[in-house]
Each structure stands twice: as C-alpha cells, then as structure tokens.
Amino acid sequence: MENMKNNFFKDLLHLHRPTFNVVQLLGTIACMAIILFIGYFSHNMSIASFGFLGIFILMYYENIPLKNLILRFIAVALFILTSFLIGFLTTFASWTAPIAVGLIAFLGRIFFRLYDIKKPGVFFAVLVSAMGASMRIPIKQVPVLGSYYLLGAFIAILMAIIVHFTEKEPPTIVEEKSFFQRVHEDPSVFIDGIFYGATLFLAVYLSSGLQLQNPYWMVVSCAAILQGDNLRAIMQRNVQRILGTVIGIGIAALLLNAPLTTLETIFLIIALFTISQISVRSNYALSAFFTTPMALLLSSLTKDQNVPSLLQYRFIGIALGALLGALSAWLITTGLKFYNKSFDLHESFDKEPD
C-alpha cells in the first residue's frame, strides 16, 4: 500500500517523453495565429475568441481516410455549434441550464465513444454549452458569434487536409458499423454517459447556486478531470490540475498586470499555447502552468477584467470542478464494483449439457 502511494505521488511530477504529430502541432499553431490576426487586423477580437474554439477541432485529427476525416470534422463542428446554441437558449430560463448541459454531456459521451472519436471527446461541446449558458448578449449577436466559430472550424478543416497529405503511413481504415452493432459491442456506454451527464448536471447546478463569476470554469474543470482513462488517472489529474492552476494563476497575475499591447498579447497567447500543447504530453500539471494564463489573456482581448477578482474566481471554479469530478468518479467506480459483485449471477441462456 505504501509503495502504491509513493508511485502515485511520483507519477504526479513525472515528465514523460512527449510524442506528437509535428505537422499537426504546427498546423494547429498556424490556425490559431491566423484566426488571432484576422481578429486583430479587422479590429474585432470577438472573431479571435470564438474562432479560437473552432480551431480546436483540429485536435480530433487522426490518420484515417480523407472522406472519413472530413465527415468526422463536419459532425464534430456541428455538434459543438449546436451545443453552444442550446446553451445560449437556456439564458431565457436559467433553471434549464443544468438539464441542457447534462443532456449534451450524456449524448456527446455516447456519440464520441461509440464512433471511436478519441480525446478530447465531448469536452469542447460541454465547454461551449456552459459558456453559452453563462453569456448575456442580445440574441441577434448569436448568429454572428456562430459564424466566427465556423470560420475557425473551416480553417481547421483545411489544415487537417494539408496534414493528411503529409502523412507517411497509410491511413487506418475505419470499419463501417451500424449504430446498434456499436452499442452491442459496447453496452456499458449508456452507464458511462449517464454518469458523465449527471456529474456535469450537478456541476452546472452548483456553479449557478454558488453564483461564481464565469461559472462555466467549474463545469469545464469537472469535464476535463473526467477525461482520465481510469480512477487513478482521474485522481492524478485532480491533483495536477489544482497544482498547475495555482502556478498558472501566478503567471497570469504577472502578465495581466503588465502593460501589454494587443499585438504583444497575441504573440504571448501563441507562445503559451505552443508550450502547453507540447507539455500536456509530458505532464498534465505542467501544461496547466501555461493553459491558465493563455485562457485569461484570450479573455482579456474582448473585455476589461478586474484582475484580482478574475484570478480568485478562476481558482475557485477550477478547484471545485476538479474536486467534484474526482469525487463523482470515485463514487461511481466504487458503486459499480459493489453492485457488480452483488448481481453477477453467472447465468446464461445457453442450453444445459445433457
């Protein structure tokens, strides 16, 4: 037991050798730079903020046949956009926000898992739905913001096509299966979806009830923690995310109080994003050092913020979300193990031998 604890804490700080597709990484950085500079030169940084979300669909890239790749990107982009619109509609009846985000999380978890669309999975759909639920803007602005997102997604799809043609290995063939066949091969997907959706329902409910500034931070943190492959990974992510956020907030405090021009801020965002994308493959806590200031600098491009209050609520939201995600993962894992023992009857419909 003591050895397991030592290994757990040792792994928290262990730096793995990062492995990544260099062309995909450079393509993502290029896409981000393009959308940021489009916003800068058009004197409309909202293009950068919402187009930035569209760029993130490039993270769903895999070396699969081009037709399948484009269809995947279109499906993911439309799912995320629909999630944002549903989230925004809840602003007309705030009590519906937990239900809407929980339902998106449930359906998305099932969709991404059944069709083997790997991490980040439904994470960005949850992020934009929670963002939409916390926004207070005129309804006529929603199509405009949606168009900015689609611009970013379009740039990402073009870059994915370029990355595809640079691949040296042949693409992995995607096996054609019906929806029911996929469910038959992975029947536990609905239990996983219910657990995930219920946890994020609770995250939205608590963040609203606690009246947190930018309440979606708690929801996003909870969703990020639950991306862990197993309970151990989730618990490690919990500690790493809180630790990384503390350091990241310290870096953000220095940068947000510095007299930076918009252009300097853009270059800083690009640099922080690049470092975070490399370091996330080495250590999750290390990547949070750079993700936190990057997100806050991006937010500062479109609106003035009270820095001390912003940093305080950022930490509270992320810490509460991480703890909720870890607690719910432990409860569901413990509960399923217990009931699996209770109801494992070892029965089947096979004919008894004569």
Is residue 8 situated within a structural domain? no
The mean of the pLDDT values for the chain is: 83
What are the tens digits of pLDDT across the range 73-122? Answer: 999 999 999 999 999 999 898 889 999 999 999 999 999 999 888 778 88
Q: Would 5 be classed as within a structural domain?
A: no
Q: Are the C-beta atoms of 137 and 12 separated by less than 8 Å?
A: no
Judgement on whether residues 163 and 24 belong to the same structural domain of the protein: yes
Verify that 164 and 227 share a domain, yes or no: no
Look at residue 349 and tell me if it is in a domain.
Answer: no
pLDDT at 346 over 60: no
120 inside domain: yes
Please indicate, yes or no, whether residues 216 and 161 belong to a single structural domain of this protein.
no
300-332 burial by CB neighbour count: b if 16+ within 10 A, else e?
bbeeeeeeeebbebbbbbbbbbbbbbbebbeeb
Q: Based on the domain organization, do 164 and 214 belong to the same domain?
A: no
pLDDT band (50, 70, 90) for residue 160: very high
Q: Which two tokens stand for residue 127?
A: 């992020």
* CA dist., res. 34 & res. 213, Å (int): 30
Number of domains in the chain: 2
Looking at the structure, tell me whether residues 163 and 42 fall in a common domain.
Answer: yes
Q: Quick one: pLDDT band at residue 153, thresholds 50, 70, 90?
A: very high
Given this model, what pLDDT does residue 11 score?
59
Cα distances (angstroms) measured from residue 127 to each of 92, 121, 222, 266, 274: 19, 11, 10, 22, 21
Residue 354: the pLDDT is 46
Inside any domain, residue 11: no
Measure the CA–CA gap between 115 and 177, rounded to whole angstroms.
Answer: 9
pLDDT surpasses 80 at 305: no
Give the model's pLDDT for residue 4.
47
Pair (29, 163) in one structural domain: yes
Are residue 138 and residue 249 in the same domain, yes or no? no
pLDDT at residue 349 in the model = 44
Q: What is the pLDDT of residue 8?
A: 52
More confident site: 222 or 344: 222
Q: Is residue 73 part of a domain?
A: yes
d(CA 67, CA 69): 5
Domain boundary among 117, 152, 186: 186
Q: Is the pLDDT reported for residue 345 higher than 60?
A: no
Whether 327 shows a pLDDT value over 70: the answer reads yes
The verdict on residue 296 lying in a domain is: yes
- One domain for residues 310 and 224: yes
Task: Please check whether residue 149 lies inside any domain of the structure.
Answer: yes
Q: Specify the higher pLDDT residue, 6 or 339.
A: 339
The shares of helix, strand and coil residues in the chain, as percent rounded to the nearest 5, are 75, 0, 25
Show the domain range for 271: 210-339
DSSP state of 37: H
- Report pTM: 0.85
Q: Tens of pLDDT along 36-81?
A: 999 899 988 888 888 888 998 988 988 899 999 999 999 999 999 9
Per-residue pLDDT of 220-253, as tens digits, reads: 888 888 877 677 777 777 777 788 888 888 888 8
pLDDT of the residue at 342: 57
Residues 148, 250 within the same domain: no
Residue 158 and residue 258 share a domain: no
* HSE of 339, CA atoms in CB hemisphere, 13 A: 6
pLDDT of 341 strictly over 80: no
